[in-house]
């Protein structure tokens, strides 16, 4: 078996070490392999400490999906904005947004920054309702001029929730014309 800690060595140096070690007995090679493995472990540990990747403080993540309980289908095209804050009294920082796909899922919400304690999803349900009504009217009789139907009762739904570093929060929205419900999903 040949094992060498290659950190800081050139190709020629590794080749020369291999050629030199070919003369070693199996017992000598095992001792050399153990020593080289120790070097490799020290290099890896030093890199982990340097990069601070041993910290358990990793960012939380968020996902969502929207189901239209009035139609019994996923709600496609719902604009969703994600905000975050640190602490109960911190100000909200908008991170960005997306829109639900054909399955009603937001697959590309931005990552939460380190130190986030609370997240907020804002669903633009008015835009979705207008789109859904337009689609429903294609097969329905036309409305008289000037009538666009009733106003949307919930033009937006804002959901704020606590997050824990390293955990994933899935927060689905169940939407109907005159009500909505959210829950912590999995």
Computed on alpha carbons and rounded to an integer, the radius of gyration of the chain in Å comes to 29
Tell whether the model's pLDDT for residue 109 goes beyond 80. Answer: yes
Tell whether 121 and 32 lie within a shared domain.
no
Please indicate, yes or no, whether residues 18 and 43 belong to a single structural domain of this protein.
Answer: yes
Percentage, residues of the chain above pLDDT 70: 85
Q: Are residues 120 and 97 in the same domain?
A: yes
Q: Please say if the pLDDT value at position 30 is more than 60.
A: yes
Total number of domains constituting the chain: 2
CA 159 to chain centre: 17
| C-alpha span between 105 and 90 (Å, rounded) | 28
| Residues 158 and 89 occupy one common structural domain | yes
Write out the residue range of the structural domain in which residue 76 sits.
61-182
Residue 5, domain member (yes or no): no
6 lies in a domain?
no
146: pLDDT strictly greater than 60: no
pLDDT at 160 over 90: yes
**How sure is the predictor about 4, in pLDDT bands with cuts at 50, 70 and 90?**
confident
- The confidence score (pLDDT) of residue 38 equals 84
114 found inside a domain: yes
Confidence bin at 134 (pLDDT 50/70/90): low
pTM for the model stands at 0.63
- Select the more confidently predicted residue: 173 or 6: 173
Q: What is the mean pLDDT of residues 21-43?
A: 87
Task: Say whether pLDDT at 70 is over 50.
Answer: yes
Are 78 and 127 spatial neighbours (Cβ–Cβ below 8 Å)? Answer: yes
Quote the mean pLDDT of the chain.
84
């Amino acid at each position: 078996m040949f094992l060498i800690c290659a950190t800081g060595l050139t190709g020629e140096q590794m080749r020369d070490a291999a050629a030199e070690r070919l003369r070693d007995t199996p017992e000598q090679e095992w001792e050399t392999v153990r020593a080289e493995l120790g070097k490799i472990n020290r290099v890896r540990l030093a890199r982990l400490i340097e990069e601070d990747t041993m910290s358990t403080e990793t960012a939380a993540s968020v996902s969502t999906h929207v189901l239209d309980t009035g139609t019994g289908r996923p709600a496609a095209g719902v604009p969703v904005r994600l905000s975050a804050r640190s602490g109960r009294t911190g100000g909200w920082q908008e991170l960005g947004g997306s829109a639900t796909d054909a399955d009603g899922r937001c697959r590309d919400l931005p990552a939460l920054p380190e130190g986030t304690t609370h997240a907020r999803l804002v669903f633009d349900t008015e835009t979705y309702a207008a789109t859904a009504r337009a689609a429903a009217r294609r097969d329905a009789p036309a409305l008289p001029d000037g009538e666009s139907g009733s106003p949307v009762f919930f033009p937006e739904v804002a959901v704020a929730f606590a997050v824990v570093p390293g955990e994933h929060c899935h927060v689905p929205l169940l939407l109907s014309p005159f009500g909505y419900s959210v829950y912590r999903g999995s």
